[in-house]
Amino acid sequence: MLPPILANLRIPVVASPMFIVSGPELVIAQCKAGIVGSFPALNAREKDGEPSMLEAWLTRITEELDRHNQANPDRPAAPFAVNQIVHRSNARLERDIEICHRHRVPIWITSLGARPEVNAAAHDCGGIALHDIINNAFARKAIEKGADGLIAVAAGAGGHAGPQSPFALIQEIREWFDGPLLLSGAIATGRAVLAAQVMGADLAYIGSPFIATEEANAQPDYKRMIVESGAMDIVTSSLFTGVSGNYLAPSIRNAGLDPDNLEKADASAMDFNSAKPKAWSQIWGCGQGIGAVHEVVPVGTMVDRLAAEYAEAKRAVAAM
């Protein structure tokens, strides 16, 4: 059974948090379109001596969604989620948790580390915690540490993808876990959303296609490259962050490197406080599903397409 907060979405989709790309415009548009919108807390850049940008974003998102709900009681916005990078290099974690707790963030997404105190903070303010994992061992650990649900990041996902087939990953987790389970990795059509559910997931977790939307905080060239690229243009490399991730080969070429001959990197090099945004602002992260993206559109148009395809796929399956 899904927790009520995830049960009444227009379609079973959570838009995933993306470093740099996901800001308040994108999140608000996703929630208004009826799917969960999300952003990494670290995207709200903080400067010493200035008011907290994370606070400002949370206030803006909450107020705009409240206004939308009052004006549209028949089609209320979906809830939003904030992503916490639970990694030793994230010096802001404790403070960001305090801010999200105070703003009663409804859905917490944790990545790169499972810590009981983050889940406890989510629960204490009435929220739920979803943890992203790339294999069954990490999935067990996340639930032991108090996460409510799991995000299975399978092969082909944008950002730090896992190496496993979604079939293998979902099947192993579903042998012991009957709680909320999201699947990510190259899901870009309504038919693929239904396929994720048939496989055993409750919801699809979609990132890369939303880079090619008007509301995404991405350079026009990045959006265009998504539209023009397909699965063959995605390369997997650990060079840029120390952890294996998927990137657009043309962006690697544009940075003067050969995507077919990249060195390996050292995992201890990963540091979310350093000048690493370069890795994401010049070397563009992306999953393999983008062959389904043919133009840059407003988020509402993309979600309409997913919803229509999802309904059509259900009809087609019922007629089998």
Ligand X SMILES: Cc1cc2nc3c(=O)[nH]c(=O)nc-3n(C[C@H](O)[C@H](O)[C@H](O)COP(=O)(O)O)c2cc1C
Q: What is the CA radius of gyration of the chain?
A: 18
Given candidates 11, 14, 18, 44, which one binds ligand X under the rule CB under 6 A?
A: 18
What's the rounded Cα separation, in Å, for the pair 305 and 307? Answer: 5
Using the rule CB under 6 A, is 23 a contact of ligand X?
no
CA dist 242 and 81 (Å) reads 26
3-class secondary-structure state, position 315: helix
Q: Note whether 153 binds ligand X by CB under 6 A.
A: yes
Query: Nearer to ligand X by C-beta: 111 or 136?
Result: 111
Q: Do the Cβ atoms of 139 and 173 come closer than 8 Å?
A: yes
Residue whose CB is less far from ligand X, 29 or 186? 186
- Kindly write out the interface string for residues 31-70 of this chain, putting x where it contacts ligand X by CB under 6 A and - elsewhere: ---------x------------------------------
Q: Are 41 and 19 in contact (CB under 8 A)?
A: no
Strand-pair partners of 83: 40, 109
Structure tokens that stand for 15 in this block: 């838009």
Q: Report in angstroms how near the CB of residue 70 gets to ligand X at its nearest.
A: 30
Check residue 21 for interaction with ligand X (CB under 6 A). yes
Residue 36, SS3? strand
CA-to-CA separations, 215 to 34, 168, 266, in angstroms, rounded: 15, 34, 34
Of 12, 17, 113, 180, the residue at the interface with ligand X (CB under 6 A) is 17
Q: Name the token pair of 107.
A: 């859905």
Q: How many helices (H) and strands (E) does the chain have?
A: 12, 10
Decide: is 166 part of the binding site for ligand X (CB under 6 A): no
Region 66-125 residues binding ligand X, contact defined as CB under 6 A: 83, 111
Q: Which stretch binds ligand X (CB under 6 A): 63-71, 153-161, 250-258, 304-312?
A: 153-161
Which parts of 202-231 interact with ligand X (CB under 6 A)? 205-208
Nearer to ligand X, 187 or 225 (CB): 187
Closer residue to ligand X, CB minimum distance, 84 or 136: 84
User: 305 is written with which tokens?
Assistant: 């397409």
Q: Which residues of the shown chain bind ligand X in the complex (CB under 6 A)?
A: 16-19, 21, 40, 83, 111, 132, 153, 157-159, 184-187, 205-208, 285-287, 289
